[in-house]
Amino acid sequence: MMSENQNFVKEDFCPTCGKQVDSAMDINDDQSPPTPGDYSLCIGCGDINTFDNDLNIIKLDKSKLSRSEKYTLKILLKKFKHLKIIVENNNQKG
C-alpha cells in the first residue's frame, strides 16, 4: 500500500504521540511533496509539527511563531477535523 502512495515521504513518527506516519498530503490538494519548514499535521493526535532539512518530522516550537503563522495554524486545525473524517471514511471502505 505504501508504494502506491504518491505522497510518500519516508517512514517517521509523530514526535507528539508516536504514531507512525509514511506520507504527507498537502492540505490544498497540491501534489508537490513537502519541503523543509513545512508544517506537518499529525492525523493521529492533531498536533502540528514541522519538517527539518532532511524532511524528518520534528516538534514545532510554537512559541517562536509570528501572529500570522499562529493564524495559519488555527486554519490548519480547522481543516484537520474535516480531513480526519475523510480518512476515517476511506479506512472503512477498506
Stretch binding Zn ion (CB under 5 A), from 3-11, 26-34, 39-47, 67-75: 39-47
Comparison of 14 and 93: residue with beta carbon closer to Zn ion: 14
Q: In whole angstroms, give the CA distance from residue 81 to residue 24.
A: 16
- Report the greatest alpha carbon distance in the chain: 41
Q: Return the number of other C-beta atoms located less than 10 Å from residue 29's C-beta.
A: 6
Q: Taking the complex as a whole, how short is the minimal distance between the CB of residue 84 and Zn ion, in angstroms?
A: 12
Q: Return the number of other C-beta atoms located less than 10 Å from residue 90's C-beta.
A: 9
The answer to the question of residue 15 lying near Zn ion (CB under 5 A) is no
Stretch binding Zn ion (CB under 5 A), from 19-27, 30-38, 61-69, 70-78: 19-27
